DNA sequence: CTGAAAGCGCTAACAA
DNA sequence: TTGTTAGCGCTTTCAG
């Protein structure tokens, strides 16, 4: 892999070195490396093989990328890799692209459009072949330019109304409907949904809240606006206290995401509330401990792997030009109800 | 960003286009982009600025990488991104490198040396500037060559005896000692440790089991070999059944990792065992639900962020040649006991 | 203060 | 069947 020169001078082995050693030209070596054996004599092939092994030659993909205008690398920008949703989706994307010899550069925007912009620019400068992103909602102009250029792009989890981009989302309406239907069947009457901050227009939160209301109507249940809330991180505990101290508190709560579920469970524990007798609980997003918690937690699961795989496949087709770039299909995935004992 | 040619021909804007438009040479544009303004007249600077904006020029990092032999990209190979440990470490690495304008390509080896090898080769071919890896234990020759070449490399979580590589690990001995000490103080006498398969020589598992025995000796507690086990994934439940059906079952169990903890809690739930009265539980690795579980789970936490940051910093110094490449310091991080109610 | 020219390592016509 | 040649887009001496 390295050629020793003089005492300690090192130099990377290049294709030229291989060519020289094998007594052929660079282009022949290039042919060899790209498996174009069609017109190559067994002899030269062997000579090249030996030369490569003896020198420990390893191709320089960067040079190849420059020439071919393709890096076999994609970029993925998620909000925060610490969220289960992100990791599972990432795993699926990873697995898919690795099958095709591609790699992924992973970035966290932390929901900050400024960070997002920096990543977008660097990733494009690094010539990634495509991008899968959970968009913050900012940087419309940058995305629009990408769309105009037909740059392969797929959004996940969120919709940006102004942009025509194919997007992968949960069918959030179905999630809310399933929850309400299940709760009604179980005999609960005063239902609520609690999720993270509604500021910032995060699609899944907005959609779940909105369609929760719609579902209540549809199932002829009363709508208590107090029970339909997006809380800031630090207000959950005292707001829950208020909520459950009401003369007519909610009988059942839908946690709009795993974070909200944790907060609810924290409150339940601190106040020795019995689930489901005193408060029924159901949540969107599976959590690792749904099974082992007592009582088992009824959850509405997102098919995260399928969603990640689908995003990857769509991007792949765009990269390979097998797919029209400028569609904006919203792919909705059905959530799945897993009934346990919390409602 | 694109120049329209004829009817629909598109062409990426290059430095040459900017140079032409601004009436300067490519090298001047290059100077500009690299902030070498020292000897540049205000005029040319402005002209270049305008030309860049009007053309929507974006530098091609690949070309730059080829010339400079540095990609500002590192590779990270973890066993499985779905593990909490991996995500947290990854986050820390990400954050650190982004501060320095670097990006990370993330790969999952799934503990498979063959996959690991493929990744190593591709990442090197893509000319990453350094590598952080949780090694499978295979591919010794490849790593040895990297070491010989002084390629920036840091290991995490596992030691490969045969290789001189700087490594970041938990002080596993301390973890076992803390557990045994705490359990003894709480009055438990018959102690056990359960962890994942001991085949495959995975450092943390081996070390935790080994030092658990040592700790028992040190604290004058009896050693029951039956209670010191590495189970395969599918045998936990029936082995636990055997274990807890013994005339003298363990009074307390240390879960060697989060996976083992889940299995224990599953068993506990299925058999209505009361923690800590019938069985005390403590675990290495924090889990998200330690607080909200009833009873709260006493855990021995790894400082994952610090570990990730340290790995990143070490790699950074090696990349920047501020650090000797060929040391093999094992950095041990102290775990932290968080007492809750499960023992 | 700016430009000319060589070259990073590889690919791909086109020749031979 | 193999070699020659001309770049890919950028950086970097070295001249001017």
Strand partners, B253: B192, B281
The Å distance, CA of B9 to C1' of C15, is 29
Give A 19-38 residues with CB within 8 A of chain B.
Answer: none
Is there a contact between B73 and A292 if contact means CB atoms under 8 Å apart? no
B2 compared with A129, residue with greater pLDDT? A129
The answer to whether some atom of strand C lies closer than 7 Å to the beta carbon of A26 is yes
Cβ(B176)–Cβ(B211) under 8 Å? yes
Distances (CA, A) of A325 to A151, A320, B4: 7, 10, 18
**Residue A145 dihedral angles phi and psi, to the nearest 5°:** -65, -40
Tell me the pLDDT of chain A averaged across its residues.
92
Asked if B82 has any chain A CB less than 8 Å from its own CB, the reply is yes
**Nearest residue in chain A measured CA to CA from B4:** A149
- pLDDT of A8 higher than 70: no
Query: Quick check: A317 and A323 in contact, CB under 8 A?
Result: yes
pLDDT at B303 over 90: yes
For strand C, the positions having any atom within 7 A of a protein Cβ are 1-13
Examine the pLDDT at B327 and tell me if it is beyond 90. Answer: no
Q: What is the mean pLDDT of residues A281-303?
A: 96
More confident of the two residues A184 and B12? A184
User: What integer pLDDT is reported at residue A25 of this predicted model?
Assistant: 83
Q: Is the pLDDT of residue A6 over 50?
A: no
As a whole number of angstroms, the longest Cα–Cα distance in chain B is: 91
Tell me the chain B residues in contact with residue A63 when contact means C-beta distances shorter than 8 Å: 66
Question: And the tokens for A327?
Answer: 């569609």
Residues of chain A in contact with residue B2, where contact means CB-CB under 8 angstroms, are 148-149
Q: Is strand C in 7 Å reach of the CB of B41? A: yes
Q: What gap in Å lies between CA B264 and CA B262, rounded to an integer?
A: 5
**Percent of chain A topping pLDDT 90:** 78
- At A165 the pLDDT is 95
Q: Evaluate if residue B39 carries a pLDDT over 80.
A: no
Please give the average per-residue pLDDT across B34-42, as a whole number: 76
What tokens does A121 get? 């620019």
Return the residue in B52, B126, B270, B308 with the most chain A beta carbons within 10 A, the one to mutate for interface testing: B126
- pLDDT value of residue B43: 84
Average pLDDT of the residues in B120-142: 96
Residue A39 has pLDDT above 90, yes or no: no
A61 in contact with B, Cβ within 8 Å: yes
> Which pLDDT score, from 0 to 100, does residue B10 have?
54
**Residue B132 pLDDT greater than 70, yes or no:** yes
- B230 has pLDDT over 60: yes
Residues 9-28 of chain B in contact with strand C via CB under 7 angstroms: 23-28
Interatomic CA distance for residues B33 and B28, integer angstroms:
9
- Tell me which residues from 59 to 88 on chain B have a beta carbon below 7 angstroms from nucleic acid strand C: 63, 66-67, 69
Are A109 and A78 in contact by the 8 Å Cβ rule? The answer is yes
Residue range A67-88: average pLDDT? Answer: 94
Task: Inspect the interface and report whether the beta carbons of B127 and A61 lie closer than 8 Å.
Answer: yes
- Span CA (B283) to C1' (C8), Å: 53
Please state, in angstroms and rounded to a whole number, the distance separating the CA atoms of residues A256 and A170. Answer: 13
- The pLDDT value recorded for residue A34 is 82
Partner-chain contact B291 A94, CB within 8 Å: no
Flag whether pLDDT at B162 surpasses 90.
yes
Report the alpha-carbon distance of residue A294 to residue A23 in Å, rounded: 73
Is residue A29 very low, low, confident or very high in pLDDT (cuts 50, 70, 90)?
confident
- The pLDDT value given to residue A11: 64
Task: Give yes or no for residue A299 having a pLDDT over 90.
Answer: yes
Say yes or no for a CB contact (<8 Å) between B91 and A82. yes
Query: d(Cα A185, Cα A287) in Å, to the nearest integer?
Result: 23
pLDDT in tens, A243-280: 999 999 999 999 999 999 999 999 999 999 999 999 99
Confidence of residue A1 (pLDDT cuts 50, 70, 90): very low
Q: Give the contacts of A204 (CB within 8 A, at least 6 positions apart).
A: A157, A158, A169, A170, A172, A256, A257
B166's enclosing H/E stretch is: none
CB contact under 8 A, A292 and B98: no
User: What pLDDT is stored for residue A9 in this prediction?
Assistant: 39
Q: Are B26 and B19 in contact (CB under 8 A)?
A: yes
CB contact (8 A) between residue A58 and residue B108: no
| pLDDT tier at A222, thresholds 50, 70, 90 | very high
Task: Tell me the average pLDDT of chain B.
Answer: 92
pLDDT digits (tens, 9 = 90+) for B253-302: 999 999 999 999 999 999 999 999 999 999 999 999 999 999 999 999 99
Contact of B220 with chain A, judged by CB distance below 8 Å, is answered with no
Contact B94 A87 (CB under 8 A): no
């Amino acid at each position: 892999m390295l050629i020793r020169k003089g005492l300690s001078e090192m130099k990377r082995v290049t294709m030229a070195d291989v060519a020289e050693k094998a007594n052929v030209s660079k282009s022949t070596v290039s042919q060899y490396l790209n498996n174009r054996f069609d017109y190559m004599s067994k002899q030269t092939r062997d000579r090249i093989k030996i030369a490569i092994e003896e020198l420990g030659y390893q191709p320089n993909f960067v040079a190849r990328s420059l020439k071919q205008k393709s890096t076999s690398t994609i970029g993925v920008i998620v909000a925060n890799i610490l969220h289960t949703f992100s990791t599972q989706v990432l795993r699926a994307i990873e697995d898919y692209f690795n099958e095709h010899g591609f790699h992924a550069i992973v970035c966290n925007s932390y929901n900050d459009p400024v960070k997002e912009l920096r990543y977008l620019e660097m990733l494009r400068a690094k010539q990634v072949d495509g991008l899968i992103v959970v968009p913050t909602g900012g940087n419309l102009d940058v995305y629009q330019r990408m769309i105009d250029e037909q740059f392969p792009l797929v959004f996940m989890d969120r919709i940006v109304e102004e942009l025509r981009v194919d997007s992968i989302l949960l069918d959030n309406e179905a999630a809310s409907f399933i929850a309400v239907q299940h709760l009604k069947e179980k005999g609960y009457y005063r239902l609520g949904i609690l999720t993270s901050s509604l500021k910032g227009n995060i699609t899944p939160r907005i959609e779940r809240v909105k369609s929760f209301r719609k579902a209540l109507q549809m199932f002829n249940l009363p709508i208590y606006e107090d029970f339909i809330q997006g809380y800031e991180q630090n207000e959950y505990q005292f707001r829950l206290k208020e909520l459950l101290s009401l003369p007519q508190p909610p009988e059942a709560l839908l946690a709009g995401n795993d974070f909200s579920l944790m907060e609810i469970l924290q409150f339940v524990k601190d106040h020795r509330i019995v689930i489901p007798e005193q408060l029924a609980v159901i949540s969107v997003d599976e959590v690792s401990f749904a099974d082992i918690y007592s009582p088992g937690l009824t959850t509405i699961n997102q098919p995260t792997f399928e969603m990640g795989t689908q995003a990857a496949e769509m991007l792949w087709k765009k990269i390979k030009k097998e797919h029209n770039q400028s569609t904006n299909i919203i792919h909705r995935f059905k959530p799945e109800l897993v009934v346990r004992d919390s409602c």
